[in-house]
Amino acid sequence: MNLILTLKLLLVPALIAGVTLAGRRWGPAVAGWLSAFPVVSAPILFFIALDQGAAFAANAAVGTLSAVLAILAFGLSYAWAATRYGWGLSLLAGFATYLAAVTALSLWRPGLWPAACAVLAALLLAPRLFPVAATSTPPASAKSKDIHWRMTAGAILVLLVTHFSARLGPQLSGVFAMFPVMSSVLVVFSHRHAGAGFAINMLRGMVLGYYAFAVFCLSLALVLPALGLGGAFLTTLAGAVLAQAGSRVVLQRGRPQALVRG
């Protein structure tokens, strides 16, 4: 568990820094797309497999896959709240909706294919449900100062999530492996310094990135018992990279304005 925590504490701040710089260079949609890749959840599932075995980790991957629904609920709730309120109330609305979705998932406990079908339908529908918002440019004074605060906030949030999720059991631990650490930190700072439009477009961009995440979780649940630990993770991460590359093409063709420097 200490190794998992150390990895998360190193990965999340580094990813937050990288995604922040990407957002300033290429805009909020690209930043959101990058932040959704399973760089944090994949190591968690890997160490679960080491500790608990392939069958246990495969079941945990199903829970993590279904958690995409909760993450989408967080993003949509935050985005609509941001059209009227500041980041504080928007974050409260996002977390409240996320926890409601997690509660529903804990009662439903979907199997692999029901979870996959629900996630696919939600990913196809979600972009249509976000409010339309113009993107603003972050103030120059904020660009050089807030990245360290973002990284610190991400590390603190990881500590809190890890502390509580370890006590929740395998199914909910799998769900909370996809707690919106990255998205909440990134969107709050973006909302504060670049406005609601930037934050909303970042959240919308995350939806496209979640296809790679879903491919990773689905394929891991399918192949882990058969291929073993090393082969399964190499295969599923390769599939996720291909899905991420494919979604990048869609991002370039469908939203060229997202590539404008933000």
Structural domain boundaries of the chain? 2-259
Distance of CA 144 to the CA centre of its chain: 25
The rounded distance, in Å, linking the Cα atoms of 260 and 242 is: 24
Is residue 90 over pLDDT 50?
A: yes
Q: DSSP for 166-207?
A: TTS-HHHHHHHTT-SHHHHHHHHHHHHHH-HHHHHHHHHHHH
Looking at residue 70, what is its pLDDT?
Answer: 94
Radius of gyration of the chain, Cα coordinates, nearest whole angstrom? 17
Question: Which of the listed ranges 90-104, 121-135, 173-187, 188-202 does the model predict with the highest average pLDDT?
Answer: 90-104
Report the predicted TM-score, pTM, of the whole model to 2 decimal places.
0.80
Share of the chain above pLDDT 70, in %: 78
pLDDT of 218 higher than 90:
yes
Q: Identify the CA nearest to 73 among candidates 206, 216, 217.
A: 206
pLDDT value, residue 158: 66
Looking at every residue in the chain, the average pLDDT score rounds to 80
**What are the residues whose beta carbons fall under 8 Å from the beta carbon of 95, sequence distance 6 or more?**
74, 184
Q: Which of 42, 40, 27, 82 is closest to 195 using CA atoms?
A: 82
Question: pLDDT tens for residues 119-177?
Answer: 999 999 999 999 987 655 554 444 555 677 777 776 776 666 566 655 666 666 677 77
Q: Between residues 69 and 145, which one has the greater pLDDT? A: 69
